[in-house]
Structure 1
């Protein structure tokens, strides 16, 4: 059980009589709450902020700071400050972009790669050992998660999509 003060309402089982949309929302909220609490309680980079942990996860390969800022919906100045601190911690290094000598890439150091490996191991343990997801279910969840994330990023970058949403068209005739 998590020692964090989390919102237990998300942990109750969804009523099977609820519409699938609501059960999906409730499942996503419970999933997020559970994983976030477990990662915070057991994660190997306890001294890192959520943004810094997100950078570690996203740096499978070197990336520009601007790209990381967009991926995390952070200001470039916030990303620079996080990268500076992580560089002092020995987790990342800056290197010239071989395709554009004016640009810099952020890359994991050996210590950063080891921490990323620990995050991967912990994630796998949580998803497979605790939540009992097999490889097929994990791949399906990853595909759906990627689709959701991509679409959320699109909406965040185009807020007029929410404003243009005609809520009357959301009404659904009960089956």
Structure 2
């Protein structure tokens, strides 16, 4: 089960006099907290764990369990358990990979696709209607989000990059 926090704390207004780095961090934290609480409160898949919701979102096409495990940062055994649970409730099925008959793909069922569409609708409602982001702003946010995610994964997989930055401040890049 996803665990929702009952603590919907008031987020103070970001001080426009703070350095842009701090305003950016505060904005990201506020954005994450707000979206997580809204999705949790209005969650279309109330009985899904965060991992299962993440799998559902990532299944834009059939994917191998190993790929999903890497994408979600989980162990293959954890992914198998989550897939088993999702299969039991009718959201996914397993199909043989036509390119490698030894491998299995996880595929959304009609019910899984409908729930994924509801996640998309809710995300669009929150991002565009409530937060008033137009299509262009949403695309810019998506590009920034992808860049953040890519570089965070790079830093997690290569902790020496953070140490290198710490030793040579203001050089600005992990690569």
CA 1:76 to 1:6, structure 2 compared with 1: closer, same or farther past 3 Å? farther
CA 1:3 to 1:50, structure 2 compared with 1: closer, same or farther past 3 Å? closer
- Give the TM-score taking structure 2 as reference length: 0.91
Match of 1:103 in 2: 103
Match of 1:39 in 2: 39
Please list, as runs of the form range in 1=range in 2, the aligned pairs for 1:39-118 lying within 5 A after superposition.
39-118=39-118
User: Structure 1: where are the runs of 5+ without partners?
Assistant: none
How many residue pairs end up in the alignment? 169
Please list, as runs of the form range in 1=range in 2, the aligned pairs for 1:153-172 lying within 5 A after superposition.
153-167=153-167, 169-170=169-170
Runs of 4+ in 1 over 3 A off after TM superposition: none
Match of 1:4 in 2: 6
Is the contact between residue 165 and residue 171 of structure 2 (CA under 8 Å) also seen in structure 1?
A: no
Shift of 1:43: 1.1
Aligned-partner Cα distance in 2 for 1:160–1:74 = 22
CA 1:71 to 1:171, structure 2 compared with 1: closer, same or farther past 3 Å? closer
Aligned-partner Cα distance in 2 for 1:73–1:28 = 21
CA 1:144 to 1:96, structure 2 compared with 1: closer, same or farther past 3 Å? same
Structure 1 residue 15 corresponds to structure 2 residue 12: no
Aligned-partner Cα distance in 1 for 2:146–2:73 = 16
Aligned-partner Cα distance in 2 for 1:41–1:167 = 43
Cα shift readout 1:61-88 (whole Å, capped 9, x = no counterpart): 0111111111111111111110000000
Shift of 1:171: 9.5
SS in 2 for 1:112: helix
Cα shift readout 1:84-108 (whole Å, capped 9, x = no counterpart): 0000010001111111111111110
SS in 1 for 2:127: helix
Cα shift readout 1:116-174 (whole Å, capped 9, x = no counterpart): 000000000000111000000000000100110111111112222223333452499xx
SS in 2 for 1:166: helix
Report the aligned-residue RMSD. Answer: 1.8
Aligned-partner Cα distance in 1 for 2:55–2:45 = 12
Match of 2:137 in 1: 137
- Give the TM-score taking structure 1 as reference length: 0.91
Is the contact between residue 3 and residue 41 of structure 1 (CA under 8 Å) also seen in structure 2?
A: no
Shift of 1:6: 3.7
User: Structure 2: where are the runs of 5+ without partners?
Assistant: none
